[in-house]
Chain A
């Protein structure tokens, strides 16, 4: 194969470019977040389509959870399924919280007018995942993004906690 002629073309056409100036702004204050998609939710859908019995059991648990949570505006729990069901029932938002999140522990959730607050702890430090409502000021301890018409905000005690808090919904 005579690849000599197109190798210089590739090297020239694929050469390095300058990063746009606004990249630093996006890294420094990630108000416009990278498009984060809940991968776990997708995997669950596949699993549940395979296992109909499991799906109906999950639905039963979900309905039971919804029934139990009617009338309450907050829940104290470390169980992702319970919090997910509570938020779904009270605010109609399905948060793809993972059952086991490395380094981060759920502690509860609260639903107020037009907003949801999920509380968690990283080590001994408290943090919040807000959906809707007023957004805290930016900075290295706050991460905001939009998804499915909702504004999500992760608030952490330290910038390092941000990455760990991502484990609430994502595999780290």
Chain B
């Protein structure tokens, strides 16, 4: 799935020549992918917009350096992943703080937390994922949002498939524990 077809190649070559219409085509083809990774990673729509914008500006600025023999999607994924991690390093995170807050609240009022979980299942899963370490979270996002294989994720992150498996395994253990209260509700959802 990470291989360019003839049309993609033409579009990219046009982008490399500075064709703004071609860049719009490229943007339209990949905007949902880029925004989704940013949103699932950051857990915050505003942050996701910043990350997606910055990612596409990086693509625009570096498209001439892209070599056709390399997979465009892998290249794009690397840009988005690095932008997400840069964003994280700058300390601009929201959801993990929210998660910590909820955790503090839950210590005093378990029923409040459970009510919240029942009514906002999606937000809650997002929050729990957002509390994973950046490396684990990125692996989870690439695996479940993008449906990538371990090998593809490894190529994007520049690590071994074994490292991906290890991070995912650790993330699974954490997620299973934190999502355990949803187990009964999943069947009813």
A residues apposed to B, CB below 8 Å: 1-3, 5-11, 13-20, 22-24, 26-27, 30, 32-35, 37, 39, 140, 159-160, 162-163
Asked whether A160 lies within 8 Å of B145 as measured between CB atoms, the reply is no
Question: Is B53 an interface residue when CB atoms closer than 8 A count as contact?
Answer: yes
Q: Are A163 and B39 in contact (CB under 8 A)?
A: no
Given A17-B35, A34-B57: A6 and B176 interface contact (C-beta under 8 Å): yes
Summarize A's interface: helix, strand, loop or mixed.
Answer: loop
Tell me the residues in window 21-50 of chain B with beta carbons closer than 8 Å to chain A beta carbons: 24, 27, 31-36, 39-40, 45, 49-50
Q: A5 touches which one: B51, B54, B147, B186 (CB < 8 A)?
A: B186
Interface residues of B in 58-103 (CB under 8 A from A): 58, 60-62, 64, 89-90, 92
Contact residue among A10, A22, A39 (Cβ-Cβ distance under 8 Å from B125) = A10
B126 close to A (CB within 8 Å): yes
Contacts of A23 in B (CB 8 A): 31, 35, 49, 52-53, 56
B90 to A: closest C-beta gap in Å? 5
> Which residues of B come within 8 Å of A, CB atoms?
18, 20, 24, 27, 31-36, 39-40, 45, 49-54, 56-58, 60-62, 64, 89-90, 92, 121-122, 125-126, 129, 140-141, 144-147, 172-173, 175-176, 179, 182-183, 186
What's the Cα separation between A26 and B34 when bound, in Å?
A: 14
Task: Please give, as numbers and ranges, the residues of chain B lying within 8 Å of A10 by CB-CB distance.
Answer: 125, 129, 140, 144, 175
**What residues of chain B lie closer than 8 Å to A39, measured between beta carbons?**
89-90
Partner among A16, A34, A140 whose Cβ is within 8 Å of the Cβ of B20: A140
* B90 & A37 in contact (Cβ 8 Å cutoff): yes
CB <8 Å contact, A26 and B126: no
Interface residues of B, dominant DSSP: helix
Least distance between A127 CB and chain B CB atoms (Å)? 14
Beyond A1-B173, A9-B182, A23-B49, whether A159 also contacts B35 by CB under 8 A is: no
CB-contact partner of A35 in B45, B92, B129, B186, under 8 A: B92
Q: Specify which chain B residues have a CB less than 8 angstroms from the CB of A9 in the assembled complex.
A: 125, 179, 182, 186
Given A1-B172, A23-B31, A24-B24; A13-B57 close (CB under 8 Å):
no
Closest chain B CB from A23 CB (angstroms): 6
> Closest 6 interchain pairs by CB?
A163-B61, A19-B35, A34-B54, A13-B125, A19-B31, A16-B36
19 contacting pairs across A/B (C-beta < 8 A)? A6-B172, A9-B125, A10-B175, A11-B144, A13-B121, A13-B126, A14-B129, A15-B145, A19-B34, A23-B52, A23-B56, A26-B53, A27-B56, A30-B53, A34-B50, A34-B51, A162-B57, A162-B61, A163-B60
Complex CA distance for A27 and B60, rounded to whole angstroms: 9
B53:A6 contact, CB within 8 angstroms: no
